[in-house]
Amino acid sequence: MIKFTNVFKAFPKGGLALKDVSFHIAKGEFVFLTGHSGAGKSTVLKLVYADEPVTSGEVRVSGFNVAELRPRDVPMLRRRLGIVFQDFRLLEDRTAEENVAFALEVTGARRSSIPARVMRVLTQVGLAAKAQAYPRELSGGEQQRVAIARALVNEPSVLLADEPTGNLDERATRGVFQLLRDINASGTAVVMATHDLDLVRQAPYRVIELQEGALVYDSAVDEPRDQAATP
């Protein structure tokens, strides 16, 4: 599904953001990506959705050889992924429904099929009642749900979430996390970068930890620890 093999990533200015990172995430897995700020969590995700070029090594994502992807194939890769961010990244001048529909329209989905598919994912994230609301009329947790609905509407095999609860209070965090677990339970792999060790501890999921760009712990490979080492 997602396979990193000896991946290095250097930014033009700034040193190595990833050093010799290898891991394999299987279909339907739920994986936490943890580590200090600057450890390289977002960078890993950016390589997955081809937002940044791979410096060396191999990155494979559901059949795509990302390191050698032609620019015009990048959209095809992204349509197979759902991506969620800390800052939601919704279009401010479109309603919840339009934001979600947009992700479908972009792919050239049949017009007539769009409303039903949009309603289905909005219902799935518990926001059917607010379909007509604009992002500014929604709470942070609700906006994140819209973003998740948008990520799901193309029925991706992997959901990438970069600190999806970073901007949310505890209650909203729990709600969004539960939603991600439900999504995972229905078969979608979830890769979630997070600082929130309470979340990590409370769920029995695999943990991959980065430190200054290096993979220092992978619960699928290494000895289990009582708790994640990150303070």
Partner 1 sequence: MNLTIREALLAFRRAPLLSALSVTTIAFSLFVVGLFGLVAVNLQDALRGVAERVEIVAYLLPGTPIESITLAEKDIEAFPEVHSAVYVSEDSALARARAELVEFRDVLQELERNPLPASIEVKLKPRFRDAEHVNDVADRLRGFGFVDDVRFGRDWVEKLDRLRQVAAAVGLVVGAAFAVVAIIIIGTTIRMAVLQRSREIAIMRLVGATNGFIRRPFLLQGAIKGMLGGLVAVGLSYGAYTLINRWLIQAAFFSNVQALAIVGFGTLIGFFGSAASVGRHLRRV
Ligand X SMILES: Nc1ncnc2c1ncn2[C@@H]1O[C@H](COP(=O)(O)OP(=O)(O)OP(=O)(O)O)[C@@H](O)[C@H]1O
Identify the residue whose tokens are 């394999």: 24
Binding part of the chain for partner 1, among 35-43, 87-95, 127-135, 173-181 by CB under 8 A, reads 87-95
CB atoms within 10 A of CB 15: 9
**Which does residue 17 touch among partner 1, ligand X, Mg ion, none (CB within 5 to 8 A, set by kind)?**
ligand X
Residue type, 142: E
Kindly report the backbone phi and psi dihedral angles of residue 191, in degrees, each rounded to the nearest multiple of 5, phi listed first: -115, 115
Q: How far is the CB of 103 from partner 1 (least distance, A)?
A: 4
Which of 38, 65, 76, 113 is in the footprint of partner 1 by CB under 8 A?
76
Give start and end residues of each alpha helix (H) in the chain. Answer: 41-48, 74-79, 96-105, 114-124, 140-152, 170-185, 197-202
Does 89 sit near ligand X (CB under 6 A)? no
Q: Are 152 and 187 in contact (CB under 8 A)?
A: no
Which of 6, 56, 65, 107 is in the footprint of partner 1 by CB under 8 A?
107
**Which does residue 144 touch among ligand X, Mg ion, partner 1, none (CB within 5 to 8 A, set by kind)?**
none
Burial 78-97 (b: 16+ CB within 10 A, else e): bbbbbbbbbebebeeeebbb
**Which does residue 35 touch among partner 1, ligand X, Mg ion, none (CB within 5 to 8 A, set by kind)?**
ligand X
Binding map of partner 1 across residues 151-180, x = CB under 8 A, - = no contact = ---x--------------------------
Q: How many residues bind partner 1 (CB under 8 A)?
A: 22
The contact set with ligand X (CB under 6 A) reads 11, 13-14, 17, 35, 37-43
